[in-house]
A and B are shown apart, each in its own frame.
Chain A
Amino acid sequence: MDLELMLKVYPFFLQAAWVTILLSVLTALLGLICGTLGAAARLSRFAVLRFLGAAYVSVFRGTPALIQLFILYFGGPQVGIQLDAFQAGVIGLGINAGAYMTETIRGAIIAIDKGQREAARTLGLSRWQATYKVILPQAARLMVRPLGVNLNMLIKATALVAAISVVELTYTAQRYIGSTYKPFEMFLLAGLLYMIIIYVTGRGVAWLDRRVQIT
């Protein structure tokens, strides 16, 4: 193992890791937005919205994320969608993550005992008031862990955007392999940095989970 080489290229990997982090943060935010809308649609009183929500989930969970990225980035221009690789990465991965988060958020909401909504409604709260005062605060606590799992998956999925040449960790590793012919060292370095990012995120999620629990 060529430690000296690893130490030499390490600063460039660190820079690439920041791109991975930025990509992850933006993807997570977009995913949360899509997931919230998706869950609201899945739980709507309107059948059309429920259908659209279900279709969103099955399409985006039912096809490889890589194909979704390729369609958006390579196929997009054909139908008038011009995005640079980074934008396509965030949007593609974000919409994909949103499909998983839809199910996470919906799952947490339907896990709340139906007596909770009933108690709120008998006091005179409207459907929406019962949702935001009683259901969502409890569901939010249930969501933290499974959303943490979604986040973990999403960070790893950012490696896919190397295939549309976003200069993040995985792409950087591949580029340095081209010039150094040391795939073991380069991928190891990338893997280590992914591990650190995921470890720190996981600790953050565990901390948040502890914070929000009811005494």
Chain B
Amino acid sequence: MTEQTDFVEIRHAQKSFGTLEVLKDINLTVRRGQIVGIIGSSGSGKSTLLRAINDLDPLTGGEIWLDGVQVNKKLPHRQYEKHINAMRQQVGMVFQHFNLFPHMTARENVTMAPMLLKKISREEADALAREQLDKVGMLNRIDYYPSQLSGGQKQRVAIARALAMKPKLMLFDEATSALDPELVEEVNMVMKQLAEEHMTMIIVTHEMDFAASVCDRVLFMDKGVVVEEGPPEVLFRNPAKERTREFLRKHLEGAK
């Protein structure tokens, strides 16, 4: 593709669960190295949009493109599975509830997918685990099981697990919402570090301060539509839409 800058492109995304329309004609473009934040109240469709990029909740309408390749293209089942597995290898996803594999140590969580899918050797896997866990400050817990880690530590291992596949894009779905307040910062630090390395990221978050400090652009979603988007200093300080103002008012009050 020639449009190398339009890295993620979502066109007219539509998603219904039965009769419930959760995403209504969403359009979103993310450029390489850009960091986009998505805010909005619970139930507005933020997770569904993020999950659609990874095809966990396939769209019922519209297109998703990643680096010049359509993610949700129509293919016969077997071919589609192959295609989607290849696409997913390029996208890292971090969940609110970590979803670490409890029967594997931190090291195994990180190396399982690269060993299985990229056929790297045990030595390479070992180096990879060290590198990625070191990056998130978890090298000293390399042989711990998830049950032996705090929430913040679990989330950092989950980030290392996603990074080990060398993704082009990282998706964060409220990565710190399930954490005790004192553990939020250690995860935010890791995400900030990724931002400095120019990782392309889409971050769903409830933390306005964090969004303001790392995102190049922020989207406000409500009831399945993008109400407003813009640079954080504009969207947070000087929103154009009444709905955005109302949400921010409630949210900032709630934070105090």
Q: How far is the CA of A119 from the CA of B165 in the complex (A)?
A: 13
Evaluate contact between B165 and A214: CB separation under 8 angstroms: no
- A129 interface residue (CB < 8 Å to B): yes
Q: How far is the CA of A116 from the CA of B99 in the complex (A)?
A: 6
* B88 and chain A: residue at smallest CB distance: A124
- A58 interface residue (CB < 8 Å to B): no
Q: Which of A115, A124, A127 contacts B99 (CB 8 A)?
A: A115
Q: Which of B88, B95, B100, B147 contacts A215 (CB 8 A)?
A: B147
- A121 interface residue (CB < 8 Å to B): yes
For chain A, which range describes its interface: under 10, 10 to 19, 20 to 34, or 35 or more residues? 20 to 34
- B97 interface residue (CB < 8 Å to A): yes
- A138 interface residue (CB < 8 Å to B): yes
- B191 interface residue (CB < 8 Å to A): no
Total B residues in contact with A, Cβ cutoff 8 Å:
28
Evaluate contact between B93 and A125: CB separation under 8 angstroms: no
Per-residue CB contact flags for chain B residues 105-141 toward chain A (1 = under 8 Å, else 0) read 0000000110011000000000000000000000000
- List of B residues within 8 angstroms of A134 by Cβ: 101
- List of A residues within 8 angstroms of B81 by Cβ: 126-127
Per-residue CB contact flags for chain A residues 126-153 toward chain B (1 = under 8 Å, else 0) read 1101000110011001000000000000
Q: How far is the CA of A126 from the CA of B85 in the complex (A)?
A: 6
Known contacts: A133-B116, A215-B145, A215-B148. The answer to whether A122 contacts B101 by CB under 8 A is no
* B97 and chain A: residue at smallest CB distance: A115
- List of A residues within 8 angstroms of B56 by Cβ: 118, 121-122
Q: How far is the CA of A137 from the CA of B145 in the complex (A)?
A: 15
Per-residue CB contact flags for chain A residues 141-173 toward chain B (1 = under 8 Å, else 0) read 100000000000000000000000000000000
Known contacts: A124-B88, A124-B113, A124-B117. The answer to whether A113 contacts B145 by CB under 8 A is no
Q: How far is the CA of A133 from the CA of B54 in the complex (A)?
A: 20
Q: How far is the CA of A124 from the CA of B93 in the complex (A)?
A: 11
- B16 interface residue (CB < 8 Å to A): no
- List of A residues within 8 angstroms of B91 by Cβ: 122
Distance to closest chain B CB from A6 (angstroms): 49
- A123 interface residue (CB < 8 Å to B): yes
Distance to closest chain A CB from B118 (angstroms): 9
Q: How far is the CA of A191 from the CA of B103 in the complex (A)?
A: 40
Q: Which of B86, B93, B102, B113 contacts A214 (CB 8 A)?
A: B102
Q: Contact residues of B with A, CB < 8 Å?
A: 54, 56, 81, 85-86, 88-89, 91-93, 95, 97, 99-103, 112-113, 116-117, 145, 147-148, 158, 161-162, 165
